[in-house]
Amino acid sequence: MRDDELAVMAGRTVLVTGSSDGLGAHVAVRLGAAGARVIVHGRDAERAAGTARRIVEAGGPEPDVVLADLARLAEADRLADEVLARTGRLDVLVNNAGIGFGDPGEARSLSGDGYELRFAVNYLAPALLTRRLLPLLTASAPARIVNVSSVGQQAIDFADPMLERGYDGPRAYRQSKLAQIMATFDLAAELAGTGVTVNALHPATFMATRMVLAGGHTPLSSVAEGGDATLRLIADPALDGVTGRYYDGLRETAPHRQAADPDARRRLRELTDALIAGALG
């Protein structure tokens, strides 16, 4: 989106998770420069402060900075508490933080709660954060939730959702991203009539981010390209009221067929509730 098209965001409050680097930082700076009040989230205080500094240098209002490691669900829960303490309204939640693709054959990693790491960070943490912030989003309606997902998707094996057998990084990543899209569809139906919309997107393929470069991948698109697709879901007035959709860049498309399976989505809801309850006790 052009800068003048983002003027509609002036005065609105937006939380962008994972905005200390890469796509999240790009989106946060563009929104801040347009006059939005941005809540910057990251794990690393120095990098998060760097994004905040870039927003101010771009002429934006002083952003809030919140730190949390989403590899522990208690941290996602605390992040929600901190956001609720800092703002009385939230116009947009952008669930962008995540762990990348990984490599075939890499060792299976666990979150601080003992869950498969990519499923925990890419799916469970934003699911919990979103649930905690729903009352504020609803009170601020019209509001939007944007889930930054991926075209890389793989069916969830509910007999082994934590991938204790046959693990590899790409499979874990794809499963977590499909879970995020499935939850997007469910939440959109749940929130019908509230004024809160929920959509997911694959912003762009192998953007030139630190995550992509660290994984040894050759960039195929720019952060600006992915940023434009993401900002469209955040700000485009033409998408007012549009909900429960998945986009590949700027184009609406259908995700993996499991996302349309109501029984699979029910099983995911039950699994999600059980895992979050198990972590938070």
Hey, which residues are catalytic here? 173
Of 265, 269, 266, nearest in space to 257 by CA = 265
Residue type, 166: G
Q: What is the rounded distance in angstroms from the CA atom of residue 227 to the CA atom of residue 236? A: 13
Residue indicated by tokens 């930082």 = 25
Q: For residue 116, what is the DSSP state?
A: B
The angle that helices 125-139 and 73-86 make with each other, rounded to 10 degrees, is 20
CA Rg value for the chain: 17
Question: What count of other Cβ atoms lies within 10 Å of the Cβ of residue 164?
Answer: 9
Q: What is the rounded distance in angstroms from the CA atom of residue 275 to the CA atom of residue 269? A: 10
Q: Are 165 and 56 a contacting pair, CB within 8 Å?
A: no
Residue indicated by tokens 């794990």 = 43
Residues in contact with 114: Cβ distance below 8 Å, sequence separation at least 6, in sequence order:
none
Q: What is the rounded distance in angstroms from the CA atom of residue 210 to the CA atom of residue 26? A: 13
Give the three-state DSSP class for 162. coil
**Structure token pair of residue 243:** 């909900």
